[in-house]
Chains A and B, each alone.
Chain A
Amino acid sequence: MTTVLDPTNEATPPEIERALRPESLAGLTVGLLDISKPRGNVFLDRVEERLTALGSSVKRYRKPTFAKPAPVDMRHEIATECDAVIEALAD
């Protein structure tokens, strides 16, 4: 029998429950996160129109660069200000 050393990080990721899916977006605040890729704004402008028509209020956010993860402060801001978030990839 061979015993070896585990090459992985040995971490067990914590299980985090997903937020409940809202029944409707009417009256909720929806964050739209633009990751700063070309034409992400085109997509999100249209999404904003549709959401506004549904009675949502929309807040827009934009990552400083698509090449790096969203800064932790921005993630916290979205989590505290919004009931739901939509992230745009684009190109």
Chain B
Amino acid sequence: MVTTPLLPPGLVAFVKRDCETCKLVDPLLGELAKDEPLTVYTQDDASFPESLAAIDDLALEMSWHHDIETVPTLIRVGADGIEEQRIVGWSRDQWQAFTGNIELGITLPEFRPGCGSLSVDPSRADKLNARMGGSGLETRRVEFAELEDDFEAMFDRGWSDGLPLVPPTEARVMRMLEGTTRAANDIVANVAPDLVDVTVEKIAVNALMAGCKPEYLPVVIAAVEAICTDEFNIHGLLATTMSVGPVFVVNGPIRKQLGMNSGINVFGQGNRANLTIGRAVQLVVRNVGGGRPGDVDRAAQGSPAKIGLAFPEDEEGTPWISLAEERGMGAGQNAITALCVEGPRLIVDQLSRTPESLTNTIAECLLTTHSKRMVAGIDALLVLSPEHMARYVDAGWDRARFRSELEDRLMIDTDEIIRGTGGIEEGLPADFAGMQLPKFRPGGLHIAHAGGPAGLFSSVFAGWVSGPTGSVPVTKPILP
């Protein structure tokens, strides 16, 4: 609960030295003080104004409490301490009427606008709001010792994934929360493995540490919602010894608004939103869910997806519908799709000029994901590059045609992968002989489009145990 300190009765002025209009009215303040009680609060220099003694408001507390946006501000306060009226800047007519002194400032110009109050200065306002406002944030506060380095202190407390974190001060977290219209105490999801309810506020703390901007927050919230579902099964992804994690594909106009990169080096470094959104989600899993490598996270080798992996689809570069649209979202809807994957793996074909030939190559590569002997067990995300996409668009293939042609080529003759064939002990039991099985379960192959304009290379992200017994991709709308 914030208690507002009362102003003294009579006239009250707020001024700062770094304001020409305040300097202009300085002598008038001294003059007015002779006629009635006048209290002056000074924001930047205790020796200003010069015409009378002022109360030091260098901490800006009175300015903040009384919503001073402009200096000079002149306020008339009643005997009960209640504000009756205020004027801002300098207007001779206004000041004369306000004070009842028709001679006031007669030699001054008629009008001068005021200056911005320091209490609303963008570089101070967040800190001031946090200090004064009673932020309403419920998160426990942690004080670092004077001799601790802030960045080292966060490593020491085990909050980091191994990279430096942005210190989540109250002022920064409040600014982060401005990125969403949701209330800070809204519960977004229940995070495994510790099965803890996570609030918007806690996500904001972790998103801030990850390096997100406030406008990324709705994407991070939607991503957390997506992975904390029984279908997606983030607990399983963590606990498995297989080296998989979530990849997030962003669709909709928000990609452009956030400046995400769907082009050159789309899975690589260089773009803040691409890099920090996935990281923010992983920090939520680590810090809120308690999922840490060596504890519940048992991955044998790990994956970049466990650090943070998010990218936007290049929707403009293809006439095909987007991944989110194929998964039921409306056109133009901001959405995020979480899929469980290893890292990206290249598909190289620089010579195919027909869609049939290129599809053969892609199928050949997809058949070997994880092992040629893995059938109907994993999902995969195929990301076609623009130059590969052009083969299909030029030939008039739409997404459905491509999918159908590709799936036809993804059937496996089980005789080739029975245990012991080819000198390999891994494989299917002998009673699976003589069958044709699909590499991916129905609906288990996901297709997106991204990458730089040149390069006849696409990528596949192979998945993990697919379907209801493992992990099912989840798409969520990104809401403000």
Chain A residues at the B interface, C-beta cutoff of 8 Å: 1-11, 64-65, 67-69
B residues less than 8 Å from A4 (CB atoms): 141-142, 144, 150, 154, 167-170
18 contacts between A and B (CB under 8 A): A2-B143, A4-B144, A4-B154, A4-B167, A5-B137, A6-B139, A6-B205, A8-B288, A9-B194, A9-B287, A9-B288, A9-B290, A10-B139, A65-B469, A67-B470, A67-B471, A68-B235, A69-B235
Interface of A is mostly: loop
B429 nearest CB neighbor, chain A only: A38
Task: Say whether B287 contacts A67, CB under 8 Å.
Answer: no
B236 nearest CB neighbor, chain A only: A67
* Bound CA–CA A1/B470 (angstroms): 46
Q: Which residue from A2, A65, A67 sits with its C-beta under 8 Å from B167? A: A2
A63 nearest CB neighbor, chain B only: B469
Task: Say whether B170 contacts A2, CB under 8 Å.
Answer: no
B residues less than 8 Å from A10 (CB atoms): 139-140
Task: Say whether A7 contacts B469, CB under 8 Å.
Answer: no
B residues less than 8 Å from A3 (CB atoms): 141-144, 169-170
Task: Say whether B287 contacts A8, CB under 8 Å.
Answer: yes
Chain B residues at the A interface, C-beta cutoff of 8 Å: 137, 139-146, 150, 153-154, 159, 167-170, 173, 191, 194, 196, 198, 202, 205-206, 209, 233, 235-236, 240, 283, 287-290, 464-465, 469-471
A68 nearest CB neighbor, chain B only: B236
Q: Rank and list the top 7 A-B pairs by shortest CB-CB distance, nearest first.
A: A65-B469, A9-B196, A67-B236, A5-B139, A6-B140, A7-B287, A67-B470
12 extra A-B contacts, CB within 8 A, seeds A4-B141, A5-B141, A67-B240: A1-B143, A2-B150, A2-B169, A3-B144, A3-B170, A4-B144, A4-B168, A5-B168, A8-B288, A10-B140, A65-B465, A67-B470
B residues less than 8 Å from A5 (CB atoms): 137, 139-142, 168-170, 173, 205
B159 nearest CB neighbor, chain A only: A7
A residues less than 8 Å from B146 (CB atoms): 1
* Bound CA–CA A2/B196 (angstroms): 27
Task: Say whether A8 contacts B159, CB under 8 Å.
Answer: yes
* Bound CA–CA A11/B236 (angstroms): 22
Q: Which residue from B145, B196, B202 sits with its C-beta under 8 Å from A7? A: B202
Expressed in whole angstroms, the minimum distance between the Cβ of B33 and any Cβ of chain A is 41
Expressed in whole angstroms, the minimum distance between the Cβ of B231 and any Cβ of chain A is 11
Expressed in whole angstroms, the minimum distance between the Cβ of A2 and any Cβ of chain B is 5
B residues less than 8 Å from A9 (CB atoms): 191, 194, 196, 198, 202, 287-290
Task: Say whether A6 contacts B470, CB under 8 Å.
Answer: no
* Bound CA–CA A12/B104 (angstroms): 67
Q: Which residue from B137, B142, B143, B465 sits with its C-beta under 8 Å from A67? A: B465
* Bound CA–CA A40/B83 (angstroms): 78
Task: Say whether B194 contacts A11, CB under 8 Å.
Answer: yes
* Bound CA–CA A11/B287 (angstroms): 11
Expressed in whole angstroms, the minimum distance between the Cβ of A61 and any Cβ of chain B is 17
Expressed in whole angstroms, the minimum distance between the Cβ of B285 and any Cβ of chain A is 11
Task: Say whether B168 contacts A7, CB under 8 Å.
Answer: yes
Question: With A2-B144, A64-B469 in contact, is A7–B235 under 8 Å at CB?
Answer: no
* Bound CA–CA A69/B195 (angstroms): 12
Task: Say whether A7 contacts B167, CB under 8 Å.
Answer: no
Question: With A7-B202, A7-B206 in contact, is A68–B142 under 8 Å at CB?
Answer: no
A residues less than 8 Å from B191 (CB atoms): 9
Task: Say whether A67 contacts B469, CB under 8 Å.
Answer: yes
A residues less than 8 Å from B143 (CB atoms): 1-3
* Bound CA–CA A4/B240 (angstroms): 33
* Bound CA–CA A67/B464 (angstroms): 10
Expressed in whole angstroms, the minimum distance between the Cβ of A34 and any Cβ of chain B is 14
* Bound CA–CA A66/B454 (angstroms): 43
A89 nearest CB neighbor, chain B only: B241
Between A3, A5, A10, the greatest number of chain B beta carbons within 10 A of the residue's beta carbon is seen for A5
B residues less than 8 Å from A64 (CB atoms): 469
B residues less than 8 Å from A1 (CB atoms): 143-146
A residues less than 8 Å from B139 (CB atoms): 5-6, 10
Expressed in whole angstroms, the minimum distance between the Cβ of B132 and any Cβ of chain A is 15
Expressed in whole angstroms, the minimum distance between the Cβ of B425 and any Cβ of chain A is 12
Task: Say whether A68 contacts B141, CB under 8 Å.
Answer: no
Question: With A1-B145, A1-B146, A67-B470 in contact, is A7–B137 under 8 Å at CB?
Answer: no
A residues less than 8 Å from B167 (CB atoms): 2, 4
B242 nearest CB neighbor, chain A only: A67
A65 nearest CB neighbor, chain B only: B469
Expressed in whole angstroms, the minimum distance between the Cβ of A37 and any Cβ of chain B is 10
* Bound CA–CA A3/B233 (angstroms): 35
Expressed in whole angstroms, the minimum distance between the Cβ of A4 and any Cβ of chain B is 5
Task: Say whether B142 contacts A6, CB under 8 Å.
Answer: yes
Task: Say whether A11 contacts B196, CB under 8 Å.
Answer: yes
